[in-house]
């Protein structure tokens, strides 16, 4: 079956500390993977997407980075967190690699930077 694993579910980190959020998917090969952020309001902001191993597209310049070391693994990182990085981070996958197939989201990580 197709599943999305995203962890941790919640995270509290001090300003200036590093960050690593991981997303892995099962049940498909070569999926399109995405990282979205939802700030205190409700808007969803696309941060990164990847159509293959080592292929990362960034939509918003910031102190975050993403990597895709394996076909079904997508990692969101930061070397030094800012207060403004607080939010709800969602990994998403297109089970079919066509650009118009629906995105399916993981359960999210709620990050609080203190």
**Site residues, other proteins (CB under 8 A):** 32, 34, 41-44, 46, 49, 51, 57, 59, 88, 90, 92, 99-100, 102-108, 110
Question: Is 25:3 a contact under the CB 8 Å cutoff?
Answer: yes
Return the number of the residue (16 or 50) whose C-beta is nearest other proteins: 50
Output the smallest distance, CB 43 to other proteins, in A: 6
Question: Is 92:106 a contact under the CB 8 Å cutoff?
Answer: yes
**Exposure letters 72-105 (e unless 16+ CB within 10 A, then b):** bbbbbebeebeeebbbbbbbbbbbeeeeeeebbe
Output the smallest distance, CB 65 to other proteins, in A: 18
Return the number of the residue (76 or 90) whose C-beta is nearest other proteins: 90
Output the smallest distance, CB 46 to other proteins, in A: 6
Bridge partners of 103, per DSSP, are: none
Return the number of the residue (20 or 107) whose C-beta is nearest other proteins: 107
Return the number of the residue (4 or 75) whose C-beta is nearest other proteins: 4
Structure tokens at 70: 């394996």
């Amino acid at each position: 079956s197709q599943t999305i694993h995203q962890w941790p579910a919640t995270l509290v980190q001090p300003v200036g500390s590093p960050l690593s959020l991981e997303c892995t998917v099962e049940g498909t090969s070569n999926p399109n993977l995405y990282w979205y952020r939802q700030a205190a309001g409700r808007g969803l902001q696309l941060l990164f997407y990847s159509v293959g191993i080592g292929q990362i597209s960034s939509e918003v310049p910031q102190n975050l980075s993403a990597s895709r070391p394996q076909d079904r693994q997508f990692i969101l990182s930061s070397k030094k967190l800012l207060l403004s990085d607080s939010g709800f981070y969602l990994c998403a996958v297109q089970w079919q690699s066509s650009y118009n197939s629906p995105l399916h989201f993981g359960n999210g990580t709620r990050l609080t930077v203190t």
